[in-house]
């Protein structure tokens, strides 16, 4: 795994320095497009995904490759999620990137049979490199990490209602929000997952559960000793990407507390 992590880091650094960072705060309006549903895409997203796909094919040849932008162009690409596959988010937090602000990152996962086996999260600006392999722990820049809570009472919750329907949004404000100190979310899973393990946030709720957003981060947080699971406690699977609802927490007890409240919502 060490050799694969080293090769992955080299690939991520190369793509960041070649396709992403040169365009940060340097995008023309013609290089940004609206995909709808509060989603943007830039020329950097597209170019970096192509480079990442080419690099991953060299690391382990023959696997299916499911990239966010390729899937947007051709939904049949999603069939690869039921196979052994690479999952790519070339720039997670594109909205931030396009506006010239942090955070944003690259998410890569290796999955098989619908289950994430390994994951990598890279922040091009800070160079933070999070890695995890199922059953082998989680690491930041090569150092093993164990999830820690903020220690705050009430706990710190990064919760967005952006993708919730109006009724659920109102229930969240009434039944969930009063039990937590709410903070802004980074609109970037590559940042949100580390925040849950490194003592910045205690809990979060994700409504959309797209594989490129969550495959790497969910594994990584679980491997730190935190907990990510569906609202009913079942494991996150990359081939159930159209199923809404995912809870992340810095500890199993914090997860259980929030899940109990979420399951009472209509």
Query: What pLDDT is stored for residue 175 in this prediction?
Result: 83
Query: What pLDDT is stored for residue 2 in this prediction?
Result: 80
> Could you tell me the pLDDT band of residue 210, with boundaries at 50, 70 and 90?
very high
CA atoms in the 13 A half-sphere facing the CB of 18: 14
Which two tokens mark 159?
Answer: 């919760």
Q: What's the pLDDT tens digit per position in 211-247? A: 999 999 999 999 999 999 999 999 999 999 999 999 9
Beta strands 156-159; 181-183: pairing state? parallel
Mean pLDDT of the chain: 94
Domains of the chain with CATH codes: 2-144 (3.30.540.10), 156-262 (3.40.190.80)
| C-alpha distances out from residue 23 to 12, 20, 95, 215, 221, Å | 16, 6, 14, 26, 30
Q: Is 32 annotated as a binding residue?
A: no
Residues 6+ apart with CB under 8 A from 253: none
Q: What's the pLDDT tens digit per position in 141-199? A: 999 999 999 999 999 999 876 666 667 778 887 888 899 999 989 999 999 999 999 99
Q: Is 49 annotated as a binding residue?
A: no
Q: How far apart are CA 179 and CA 186, in angstroms?
A: 21
Q: Is 153 annotated as a binding residue?
A: no
Q: Is 68 annotated as a binding residue?
A: yes
Query: What pLDDT is stored for residue 201 in this prediction?
Result: 98
Q: With a cut of 90, say whether residue 265 has pLDDT above it.
A: no
Query: What pLDDT is stored for residue 173 in this prediction?
Result: 78
Q: What's the pLDDT tens digit per position in 28-57? A: 999 999 988 778 999 999 999 999 999 999
User: pTM of the full predicted structure?
Assistant: 0.95
The percent of residues in the chain predicted with pLDDT above 70, rounded, is 97
Q: Is 185 annotated as a binding residue?
A: no
Would you say 195 and 145 are in contact if contact means Cβ atoms under 8 Å apart?
no
Which H or E run contains 117? strand 115-122
Q: With a cut of 70, say whether residue 266 has pLDDT above it.
A: no
């Amino acid at each position: 795994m060490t050799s694969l992590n080293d090769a992955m880091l080299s690939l991520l650094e190369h793509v960041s320095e070649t396709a992403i960072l040169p365009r940060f705060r340097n995008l023309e309006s013609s290089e940004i497009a609206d995909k709808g549903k509060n989603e943007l895409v830039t020329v950097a997203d597209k170019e970096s995904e192509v480079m990442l796909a080419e690099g991953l094919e060299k690391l382990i040849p023959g696997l299916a490759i499911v990239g966010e932008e390729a899937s947007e162009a051709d939904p049949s690409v999603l069939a690869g999620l039921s196979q052994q596959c690479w999952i790519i988010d070339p720039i997670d937090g594109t909205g931030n990137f396009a506006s010239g602000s942090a955070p944003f990152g690259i998410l890569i996962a290796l999955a098989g049979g619908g289950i994430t086996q390994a994951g990598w999260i890279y922040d091009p600006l800070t160079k933070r490199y999070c890695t995890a392999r199922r059953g082998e722990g989680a690491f930041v820049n090569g150092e093993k990490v164990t999830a820690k809570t903020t220690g705050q009472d009430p706990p710190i919750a990064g919760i967005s209602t952006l993708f919730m329907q109006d009724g659920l949004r109102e229930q969240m404000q009434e039944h969930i929000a009063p039990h937590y100190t709410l903070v802004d979310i980074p609109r970037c899973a590559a940042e949100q997952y580390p925040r849950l393990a490194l003592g910045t946030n205690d809990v979060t709720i994700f409504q959309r559960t797209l594989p490129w957003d969550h495959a790497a981060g969910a594994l990584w947080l679980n491997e730190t000793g935190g907990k990510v699971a569906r609202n009913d406690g079942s494991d996150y699977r990359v081939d159930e990407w159209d199923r809404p609802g995912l809870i992340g927490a810095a500890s199993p007890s914090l997860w259980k507390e929030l899940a109990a409240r979420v399951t009472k919502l209509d």
